Amino acid sequence: MNAIELLKTDHRTVRKMLDELADTTERAAKSRGQLLGRIARELRAHGAIEEQIFYPALQESARKEGDKDVLRQVAEAYEEHRAAVQLVLADLEATDAASIQFSGRAKVLKDLVEHHADEEEKEMFKGAKRLLDKAELAALGEEMAALKERELARSGPVKGTAKAPGALAGKSSAKTSASSASAAARAPRRRGEAQVAGGT
Ligand SMILES: [Fe+2]
Ligand SMILES: [Fe+2]
């Protein structure tokens, strides 16, 4: 799947989940919480592949070509991610799912994400097709799919493939004299491993 197809597929998935969330009521607090967990995971992974791979590649090419429209679109996209994920999503995760306030915030998140995804699809991706050739889009797609998998694995169990945390082999224990070193000492090093433990 090339980069644009991958991102569009993600958009469809998230739009669907946000629609579902908007259809829930205060009485469905438990399923709201679960659904929000899935949305958060998906949105953060999607944001990561865009911010770490797709946007920088696009910016680089746009700079070379002097395409200011695309540079502005990317700058706006970073800000929209910040608003949607760091502000609204973060607030929503801290909101009682049985409250009316949750409904309001869920609606705002849905509106923000839909607006953002629409702009990407209608404007930015057109620029990307202009600035990046097929081979570049394909290579980016592969890189992004791999990062997405890592991000999802890091943020929680993936359906069917629960990976044991901390099972990083490969480091030859050259300097471990105490061979039965306390497992407790090997705290997970990667950031984000201390994920938010669900809702309240
Ligand atoms: Fe985005
Ligand atoms: Fe996107």
- Give me ligand 1 centre to Cα 80, in Å: 7
Q: Block means of pLDDT (10 residues each) for the chain, length 200 residues?
A: 98 98 93 96 98 98 98 98 96 96 96 98 98 98 98 72 35 38 38 38
- Residue 116 alpha carbon to ligand 2 centre in Å: 7
Question: Dihedral (C-alpha) 27, 82, 19, 148: value to the nearest 10 degrees?
Answer: -110
- Ligand of minimum distance to the alpha carbon of 11: 2
Contacts of residue 26, Cβ cutoff 8 Å, sequence gap at least 6 = 97, 98, 99, 100, 102, 103
Distance 166 CA to ligand 1 centre (A): 31
Q: Between the CA atoms of 150, 156, 157 and 158, what dihedral angle is there, to the nearest 10 degrees? A: -50
Report pLDDT for 167: 35
- Tell me, in angstroms, the distance from the centre of ligand 2 to residue 10's CA: 7
**120 C-alpha to center of ligand 1: Å?**
7
Specify the residue for token string 């679960």: 34
**pLDDT at residue 196 in the model:** 38
Q: Nearest 10 degrees: CA dihedral of 119, 88, 32, 193?
A: 100
CA angle centred on 84, ends 192 and 27, rounded to 5°: 90
Spell out the long-range contacts of 75-83 with Cβ–Cβ below 8 A and sequence spacing 24 or more.
76/119, 77/50, 77/116, 77/119, 77/120, 77/124, 78/51, 80/112, 80/115, 80/116, 80/119, 81/47, 81/50, 81/51, 81/116, 83/112
Report pLDDT for 63: 98
Cβ(2)–Cβ(141) below 8 Å: yes
Of 78, 48, 50, the C-alpha closest to 151 is: 48
> Ligand 1 centre and the CA of 139: distance in Å?
19
pTM: 0.78
- What's the confidence (pLDDT) of residue 110? 98
Give the Å distance between the CA of 180 and the centre of ligand 2: 46
Residue 182 pLDDT = 38
In the prediction, which pLDDT does 192 show?
A: 39
pLDDT value at residue 194: 39
Instruction: Give the per-residue pLDDT at 156.
Output: 76
